[in-house]
């Protein structure tokens, strides 16, 4: 199957700033070709966000992963807005994604990542934000992982959990883990665990 590149033609006709704080929100008027060959004009609000880096710390020696737990304002509709997540941070400086992964692992979980293996890059919510997520799995020694971490200057209050692989997979299945980066990385690990063990044993 090949994709028709004619459908990729578009132009931004107008940009109206709506809000600028930690994030920026604009209203865009965009014209683009339709699949039938015509053209339409649409208005959409777009949140301009920094790209993010997420890393799942994995200890294949002891068969554990390291997850973090923190309050999330976007989860206020949930019965429990404290979510179990992978380590994550924004690329808000002149850093490569790999550098962010190493830095955030220390800041959020007080662990050091050895080898990094890329999982994927994806757009978490392209209907309203231009954020891109760089997703990795990272090799760690999880023995001793735990405690409360995070930067006071960023209002972080993060609890660290050392979780057996089987438990983490079960939490994906029963809905305990309900955020995209964590689900994608853990389900990827479940599918590719044998390959990763072979790769990291070399």
Q: Which of 50, 51, 67 is nearest to 138 (CA)?
A: 67
Query: Which of 125, 139, 143 lies closest to 181 in space, CA to CA?
Result: 125
Helix (H, G, I), strand (E, B) or coil at 55: strand
Q: Could you identify the residue written with the tokens 């830095």? A: 103
| 63/163 Cα distance (integer angstroms) | 9
Active-site residues: which are they? 154
Rounded Cα–Cα distance for residues 1 and 22 (Å)? 41
SS3 141: coil
Alpha-carbon separation of residue 112 from 41, 58, 108, 153, 186 (angstroms): 49, 11, 11, 21, 19
- The CA distance from 51 to 49, in Å, is 6
Residues 6 or more apart whose CB falls under 8 angstroms from that of 47 comprise 23, 24, 25, 128, 129, 130, 131
């Amino acid at each position: 199957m090949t994709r028709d590149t004619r459908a990729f033609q578009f132009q931004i006709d107008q940009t109206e700033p709506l809000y600028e704080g930690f994030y920026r929100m604009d209203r865009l008027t965009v014209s683009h070709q339709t699949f039938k060959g015509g053209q339409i004009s649409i208005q959409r609000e777009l949140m301009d966000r920094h790209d993010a880096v997420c890393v799942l710390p994995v200890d294949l020696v002891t068969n554990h992963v390291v997850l973090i737990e923190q309050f999330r304002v976007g989860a206020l509709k949930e019965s429990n807005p404290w979510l179990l997540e992978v380590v994550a941070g924004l690329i808000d400086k002149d850093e490569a994604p790999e550098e962010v992964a190493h830095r955030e692992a220390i800041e959020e979980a007080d662990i050091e990542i050895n080898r990094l293996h890329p999982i994927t890059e994806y757009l978490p919510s392209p209907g309203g934000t231009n954020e891109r997520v760089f997703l990795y799995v990272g090799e760690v020694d999880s023995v001793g992982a735990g405690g409360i971490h995070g930067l006071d200057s960023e209002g972080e209050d993060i609890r660290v959990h050392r979780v057996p692989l089987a438990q983490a997979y079960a939490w994906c299945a029963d809905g305990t883990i309900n955020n995209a980066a964590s689900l994608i990385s853990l389900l990827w690990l479940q599918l590719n665990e044998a390959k990763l063990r072979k790769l990291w044993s070399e």
